[in-house]
Structure 1
Amino acid sequence: MISLKLIILKFFILIKLINSLPSEFNVIGPFPIGEREEGLDSLKAYGGIFEIPIGDDTMYPSELGTNGVVGWEKVQSTSGGYLSIDWSDIVDWSFLQQTWGWSIWLWYGYAIGSFNVENSGSYIINCSGTRQYFIQSTTTTNTNNQIFEFSGDFYGYGTGQQLIHLNQSTTYNLIVRMQSSVRLSQSPNSQFSCSLTPIQNNQYITVLNSETLISDLINGELATPFATITIFNNGIYSNDNNDKNNNIIDLINVTVNNNTQSIIDVKLLNNSNLNILAGQKMSLPLEITIGSQINCPFNLTLNIESNGEIIGETVIEFNCTEWGNPYLYTFLDYDNTVQYAIAIPPTESCSDSEGETICGVMLATHGAGVEASSPFWMNAIPPQQSLWIILPTGRRSWGYDWESSSRLNVMSSIDYLVNNLPGVPNQLKSQYQVNGEKILFVGHSCGGHGCVSLLSRFGDMAIGGMCAAGFVKLQFYVFYNTRPGFSYIDPSLQGLLMASIAENDNDLYTSNIVGIPLMVRYGENDTNVNPWHSRRIARMVDEQSNQLSSVTISEVPNSGHWFDGILNDQYVLNWYNQLTESSLFSQPPIPKVITVTSHNPSSSGSRANIKILQTINPSRVAKIQIVQINNEQGELVWILSTQNVRRFGFQSTPIRTQGLPISVTIDGQPFTTEFLPTTHFARLDKWLPDWNTTTDTTWTQTERSPLTSGPIRQIFEKPFTIIYGTNSTNIDLFQWGSVFISNFYNTYGRGSPNILADIDFVEPEICSSNDNYILLGNSFQNLVTSKYQSLLPVVFNWDNSFSVGPSSPYSYPGTGILFLAPNPCGQGLILVVAGYDDQGFNNALHSIPQRSGVLVPDFMVVGNDIWKGAGGIISTGFWDPNWFVSLDSSYFGFTPF
């Protein structure tokens, strides 16, 4: 028997190891940075943080410092691995804020502290409050000054686990890149917290219990069968049957522990032939079947297996509720990961006396940092009489500002509820059917931004909107124009970069809201999202409606960003009721004159039954103005005028009480109205508006369509596989890059791509739009890149140089490229990341836009000046509809110095 003293001794040794990180730091900063500005690091002008002396008296330029300089400070923290700082002792923030507002609070800096470990071995390090940190060995050995880079868990989701091997005889520096977030802290403050935990023998995996998802039990039955558990490969697993890499965990299975009731069956949804690399996180999608009703409370113990061997276990605790209460349901999202939403059933039956479905959806998007399942948000809106309320997550509480992956998550949550009625008792399903194309969009703060975004891009699904305290677009909320990197570039390049996120500019899409009932609501004293934002949206919709008050403005006196009743007082409840009563059987009518707007067909649905399918110039907005008239026979005719539209079509739904036109005139050419998906309209000459009807449905195989219209961020909007090259002198770099992308996506988007070596890739027998690939390495380093070279709009050469469009080959040290290409059937995407050398690959890897608001078009060439932010971009731009360089929408810079 193990003695109590030994147990206590081991416990205190473990605690000591966990707290072995430094509590004293040398800190340098603050240096200015812009919102979502990637790569910027002014210290690189003087050698960089790994080369400059630590803790000396040198002063470095910064417009945030007195006399325009800042230097090192020594700071003692309250605990190991933790630091909080706001620089108020050296920066007069209130004075700077008078001119620049809260955007001036954006800064970055570095904190450096040294530490040792008592035992050599593998460790899990986890840092929250930072996006990037490093561990540097400083002891003079053969691996002197070896530097390991890690991604942090900036928002404190509990998902920042990273793997490192540390030696007892080595002294290490923990180097944390500190960076403020005005949206997160509402102040100049930034803080991080790191922990270091030893991996015990035979501890093959770590289960991230906070990431477990399971639907609620409603009256003893699961609302939905989908569940997920997230595991982290601790890097010590050894399998003699795996001769490729003994640290890879493969042939995974999940089974029910023998101690659990036999009425439960668990099945791993994905192919069990998954590879989980050392240091990689993987969320495993499960299907759970329960044979009979469960008595609550109830826990389920699961075994995680690899090659038939149990390598870990976890316990799932079920939440129990009764029908009629808000409940959590899970579903498979667009990338086949398991996500969740909250459903609040209507208070009355959804069928009228004639059996017609009369219930629509209230879609309520939460603010940044708000968890959809929090009691605060679930109680923000009371149950509605004839509306199902859906509270989506957007993938995470911070998500993607209800853009990109968050937008797709919203649509998946609606589709699953509409088609499956999860959680509704079987005997009641016929009474609670729901029409998913009658949506009342509601949201607050970032969710208010999402409310306007969804309303203006999916207007044909809307019965109205009540958007509270939302910002117009991110660059109006936290200014982009103070970015240091923008000071290095000319206006044409800046314009192209901003075009890469213009599809998320709500003001650009306000014409689509014309004719849709909208209320904007806010407190008159809102200092978080200034009332200016809501007023801007209201003014633009009013102007384009040619009405003084088409938008209802509710400006609540003496109130701030959030106040009791903002989404649920009697005034706004009356608004909800008015909209639902007036839209029981039809959508709002199409205005006599309206302009349909889309900057990117991939992120826009239809408006006025028109769907824009393709643009002429991919960096510019497309518009179709509709003027409704009646011909001499009294028949409805539409006069259409287009701008930058190459293909569009009519959708037969939603059904309009006033009907749709029997004929249309497009830029002066008459046509009979025909409908998607069999027929659409196309003008294939860039300069002549020569329109034709076409029944060609194969064009998406060779041209860019909504499935492939980019920009690079679209690679994450379908299931994707990361494939790294093995024909390289530094396979480890490509493997590390694969884990870097995968873990970043898991941390911030709850996603889980599979990672393969190129030699293990087997092309699917049938190509589909769901086959997206991220290829690491050029066509001479990666067999899959070579296989698909004919599809790529970039040419690679044997010396690792590469050419784009009219440019000469890029063959400069530190030069890298990332670009989109079509997959083999043309309906999915490939992202290639490569470099002239290792540093070039690393520069390109760190330019991948894995967060909302990051400025990257369809291709980008970067160099060693990437520390200047946008100033390090050599070339960038968009592909045209046929996957060639669009010279009108591209920038080719000078040769790097």
Structure 2
Amino acid sequence: MRNKLVSLYLLPILLYSLPSLKDTIIPDTWYYLGPFPVAPREGITGITEEEIKYFCDTTKIYRSIFPDSGIIRWQKVEKDSLNWVKVDYEDILWDTLIDFYGFALIQSLTYFYTEVFIPEECRALVMAERASFFLNGISYPGDPYGHNFVRIPVVLKKGKNSILLKVSGFPPHRFQFALLPAKEPVLIIKDDITAPTLVPGENRVLIGFPILNTEERSLWVRLRVAGKGVEEKEISLFLYPQMVKKVPIEFKADVSPAESLFPVYWHLTGEGFSSLDSLTLLVKKAEDVQKITFISRIDSSVQYFALRFPKNYQKDREYSLIVSLHGAGVEAVNQAESYLPKDWAFIACPTNRRPFGFDWQDWGRIDALEVIEYLKRKYPIDTNRIYLTGHSMGGHGVWHIGLLYPSLFAAIAPGAGWPSHQLYVPWTFQRSEVFASSQVLAIRNRVLKIDQTLPFLENALNLPIFIFHGSRDDNVPPLFARMFASYLADLGYRYFYKEVPQKRHWYYLDEGTVCVDDPEIMEFFQKEKRDPFPKRIIFQTSDLDIASQAYWLKITELEKDQEVGRIEGEVRGETIEIKSKNVRGLKLELPKDFTSSGFLTLLINGKRQRIKSKPSLILYRRGEQFYLADTFKPELRGPMRKAYFSPFLLVYGTKSDSLSVITYQQAKREAFLWWRIGNGRCDLLPDTLVGEEEMKRYNLIIFGGPSANYLSERLAGGLPIKEDKGELLFFNKRLSGELAYRYIYPNPRGKEKFVLIAGGTNQKVLKLSTFFSTLYSSAGLPDFIIFSPEVEKKGWGGIRACGFFNRNWGLTPGDYFLQE
């Protein structure tokens, strides 16, 4: 069977092609069950979804807190003339609930069920706008944001096909759903091409093409670009069954000054198919907003940012840089259009990887930092005059990034920003908050700490802040702006607070200027210049892989990871005094001429020592004293999300027929999520094809433990969780019962890279092993979790073990929870 499965996914000539669905099918009639409360960042209804994937029992009673009597049943609903299905729940007093508990309570989910009958097995594409779905029991991501470009390839079986949708958010709930013909074996999703704008003259053009394999077989395809003024380029790529891969292609384009539109033609070919099409790139003037594409270091995907050049731009002078972060659902190019050109500054707007993206945390934060580094390399930027601003979700991003990287910016200006998910849309009604033990929640909170903003406000000691907010904002309450201002006032820090009377969330000033381009903010920025070597520093962080340094002082190691470490440094002549908490290692980066004598005095936590001054000083703590060291080696550290912060591969298991179907679906779903949420690119491999080269180059996201995945089996001797006769061995602990697990660990065969493994003690819980997703902001997942099917009803209350590995990748009491 092993050889058969390898052939299945590697030798497309061995498989026939299914026919396409002949005509579009839009179901008229649906049955809905809901609404059920689903707390923010959790999404649990308490319903056993396995029971409703294939059939809806209209006689069965379900419980929900929303309707009178708390009882609901499946009810019938029809699509409207525009093919939307909508349920208003007019008998539920939403406003009353909001008055008592706030709008966090009414975040809810409704299930919708229907069936379609197909005369023969065939391929199709699913459009699921504002919904995720199950088809014949298999889970697919859909497009909850309703961007209308996501198409999911599926196979419809002959006869009855069961469709279950999950539609969530704030009521009313509505969605569109259609089964579309898959007319071509492979297609390019035109609405999701990531492409730059051009300028007259020679251009280096970098485009990301999302290529979708609609077939149940693997295919080799070739993509060639051509056209007038286009340097012909061709790439070849391998596509796994029913997978999307967004691939880069780069070429030269010679654009005439007379052109405003520049067509690029492509030819997509493969076994038995050939298609021609084109896209039109916009040619912009120097004073227009440009779209610039680049390759991300995370996954070699094509990302873009919007850039407005300075007015009357000259290459031989330095300019300031204003980085502006957009709000939820806003395109970066539209954010840039909100600004008038400045004669003193570039204005750059990163994407957060998508308009909703990651709340400027995790991959959104990395995207913003990549754009800043790109601009510093490419253009004449005065690095002491970089400013960060943003609005709404972007305002949160300003607090998050600005406070963790205070030495990068001369000043920041957050607008209508919120401090954290827990405060913005409170987590009060999470099942996890109700059922999980205090130990489990404490572990989750340690992971979430770095995503908070208020605990790191002291980092702004040398960072001037302009806070702006509309006083009648009904989206992000101005109380958050007032909260930040109050804490800054308590600290005695420099800030300016502007609350604009009678203005709502996104507002215009009296003269028609957009809020983010407020002249007062621009004047504030122009007055501020970064001091690269301030005499006094306060810096706090809880995750050194995310933020570790402010100005000349760097934390190289924490005593306890994922807990806040604090350093306070002050220069007085040739003496540097440092106070630290939860810090084990330090690095000082000093000017070459820091002292005239060649020596300096270090006073660390009251311990004095006289040492030779050097531009780089590394110190480690032993006992109560810090001692000089020659070097430090960065260590691999969790939590789980770190596996996706650098190049990774998705590895599915092929060890048995039934389990390989599960692990391939899990890997495929992860790839679709990474594309849909993160505009990302990733590759899949079967376990049998992962060799030493892959282990050296990539973090490996492995689906299936040793019973399902040959790679997990190969690595099992060096891993902490083992499967043994339906039980788990976790170090020296034996855990019985139906248990799923997921954990991050250094690859035993490639010590500089991670493995992130999901598995379970049987087929049922193997399906459950990806229940906790890492691919969204503030997931809170630590280094490892072991959990039972109770998580479907109790969230983190169903966790049997979770926590952090120590720096030797063992266990330390107090850093983990274990229910034996």
State the TM-score, normalizing by the size of structure 1. Answer: 0.83
Q: How much has 1:281 moved relative to structure 2?
A: 0.8
Q: Distance in 2 between matches of 1:91 and 1:524?
A: 30
Report matched runs for 1:68-107 at 5 Å: 68-79=70-81, 82-87=84-89, 89-107=90-108
Q: Distance in 1 between matches of 2:383 and 2:557?
A: 26
In structure 1, the partner of 2:294 is 331
Provide structure 1 residue ranges, at least 5 long, that are not aligned to the other structure. 1-13, 137-146, 183-187, 237-246, 422-432
In structure 1, the partner of 2:167 is 178
> Aligned to 2:219, what secondary structure does the other structure show?
coil
> Aligned to 1:767, what secondary structure does the other structure show?
helix
Correspondence 1:362 to 2:332: no
Aligned length: 796
> Aligned to 1:848, what secondary structure does the other structure show?
coil
Q: How much has 1:124 moved relative to structure 2?
A: 0.9
Deviation string for 1:162-199 (max 9, x for gaps)? 2222245x12332111211x4xxxxx222221121122
Correspondence 1:157 to 2:141: no
**1:472·1:507 contact (CA, 8 Å) conserved in 2?**
yes
Deviation string for 1:472-529 (max 9, x for gaps)? 1111111112112321112221121122222110111111112211011001111110
In structure 1, the partner of 2:641 is 713
**2:192·2:210 contact (CA, 8 Å) conserved in 1?**
yes
Q: Distance in 1 between matches of 2:743 and 2:368?
A: 29
Deviation string for 1:733-776 (max 9, x for gaps)? 221111111111101101111111122223228935xx211112
Correspondence 1:33 to 2:51: no
> Aligned to 2:769, what secondary structure does the other structure show?
helix
Q: Distance in 2 between matches of 1:86 and 1:618?
A: 47
In structure 2, the partner of 1:577 is 523
> Aligned to 1:78, what secondary structure does the other structure show?
coil
> Aligned to 1:435, what secondary structure does the other structure show?
strand
User: Which letter does structure 1 place at the counterpart of 2:147?
Assistant: Y
In structure 2, the partner of 1:207 is 188
**Structure 1 residues 83, 651: CA separation in 2 closer, same or farther (over 3 Å shift)?**
farther
Q: Distance in 1 between matches of 2:472 and 2:592?
A: 40
In structure 2, the partner of 1:216 is 197
Provide structure 2 residue ranges, at least 5 long, that are not aligned to the other structure. 1-19
User: Which letter does structure 1 place at the counterpart of 2:231?
Assistant: I
Report matched runs for 1:159-308 at 5 Å: 159-168=149-158, 170-180=159-169, 182=170, 188-200=171-183, 203-222=184-203, 224-235=204-215, 247-250=217-220, 252-257=221-226, 260-261=227-228, 263-268=230-235, 272=236, 274-290=237-253, 293=256, 295-306=259-270
Q: How much has 1:299 moved relative to structure 2?
A: 1.1
Q: Distance in 2 between matches of 1:77 and 1:22?
A: 8
Q: How much has 1:722 moved relative to structure 2?
A: 0.9
**Structure 1 residues 674, 444: CA separation in 2 closer, same or farther (over 3 Å shift)?**
farther
Report the structure, 1 or 2, having the larger strand content. 2
Report matched runs for 1:602-751 at 5 Å: 602-628=545-571, 630=572, 635-652=573-590, 662-671=600-609, 679-683=617-621, 688-697=623-632, 699-700=633-634, 703-704=635-636, 709-729=637-657, 730-751=659-680
**Structure 1 residues 36, 265: CA separation in 2 closer, same or farther (over 3 Å shift)?**
same
**Structure 1 residues 437, 267: CA separation in 2 closer, same or farther (over 3 Å shift)?**
farther
Identity %: 18
Q: How much has 1:133 moved relative to structure 2?
A: 1.1
**2:741·2:784 contact (CA, 8 Å) conserved in 1?**
no
> Aligned to 1:301, what secondary structure does the other structure show?
strand
Deviation string for 1:367-398 (max 9, x for gaps)? 00001123xx2222222222211110010000
Q: How much has 1:292 moved relative to structure 2?
A: 6.5
Q: Distance in 2 between matches of 1:672 and 1:818?
A: 45
User: Which letter does structure 2 place at the counterpart of 1:600?
Assistant: D
Q: Distance in 1 between matches of 2:146 and 2:468?
A: 30
Q: Distance in 2 between matches of 1:653 and 1:101?
A: 53
RMSD, matched Cα: 3.1
Q: How much has 1:692 moved relative to structure 2?
A: 2.1
Q: Distance in 2 between matches of 1:588 and 1:779?
A: 51
**Structure 1 residues 395, 661: CA separation in 2 closer, same or farther (over 3 Å shift)?**
farther
> Aligned to 2:725, what secondary structure does the other structure show?
coil
**Structure 1 residues 277, 589: CA separation in 2 closer, same or farther (over 3 Å shift)?**
same
Report matched runs for 1:490-889 at 5 Å: 490-545=437-492, 550-565=494-509, 572-583=518-529, 586-587=530-531, 590=534, 592=536, 594-628=537-571, 630=572, 635-652=573-590, 662-671=600-609, 679-683=617-621, 688-697=623-632, 699-700=633-634, 703-704=635-636, 709-729=637-657, 730-764=659-693, 767=696, 771-789=698-716, 791-792=718-719, 794-799=720-725, 801-806=727-732, 808-822=733-747, 824-868=749-793, 869-889=795-815
In structure 1, the partner of 2:47 is 43
**Structure 1 residues 653, 791: CA separation in 2 closer, same or farther (over 3 Å shift)?**
farther
> Aligned to 1:407, what secondary structure does the other structure show?
helix
Q: How much has 1:412 moved relative to structure 2?
A: 1.4
User: Which letter does structure 2 place at the counterpart of 1:523?
Assistant: G
**Structure 1 residues 459, 98: CA separation in 2 closer, same or farther (over 3 Å shift)?**
same
In structure 2, the partner of 1:134 is 134
Q: Distance in 1 between matches of 2:594 and 2:320?
A: 17
**2:309·2:347 contact (CA, 8 Å) conserved in 1?**
yes
Q: Distance in 2 between matches of 1:532 and 1:551?
A: 17
User: Which letter does structure 2 place at the counterpart of 1:318?
Assistant: L
**1:23·1:80 contact (CA, 8 Å) conserved in 2?**
no
**Structure 1 residues 82, 675: CA separation in 2 closer, same or farther (over 3 Å shift)?**
farther
**Structure 1 residues 190, 333: CA separation in 2 closer, same or farther (over 3 Å shift)?**
same
Q: Distance in 1 between matches of 2:365 and 2:212?
A: 28
**2:336·2:348 contact (CA, 8 Å) conserved in 1?**
no
Q: How much has 1:118 moved relative to structure 2?
A: 5.2
**2:321·2:346 contact (CA, 8 Å) conserved in 1?**
yes
Q: Distance in 2 between matches of 1:677 and 1:162?
A: 55
Q: Distance in 1 between matches of 2:690 and 2:516?
A: 59
Q: Distance in 1 between matches of 2:224 and 2:455?
A: 51
Q: How much has 1:534 moved relative to structure 2?
A: 1.2
**Structure 1 residues 313, 719: CA separation in 2 closer, same or farther (over 3 Å shift)?**
farther
**Structure 1 residues 652, 580: CA separation in 2 closer, same or farther (over 3 Å shift)?**
farther
Deviation string for 1:755-799 (max 9, x for gaps)? 11122223228935xx2111122245433334444553x132453
> Aligned to 2:474, what secondary structure does the other structure show?
coil
**Structure 1 residues 15, 860: CA separation in 2 closer, same or farther (over 3 Å shift)?**
closer
Q: How much has 1:91 moved relative to structure 2?
A: 1.3
**Structure 1 residues 859, 816: CA separation in 2 closer, same or farther (over 3 Å shift)?**
closer
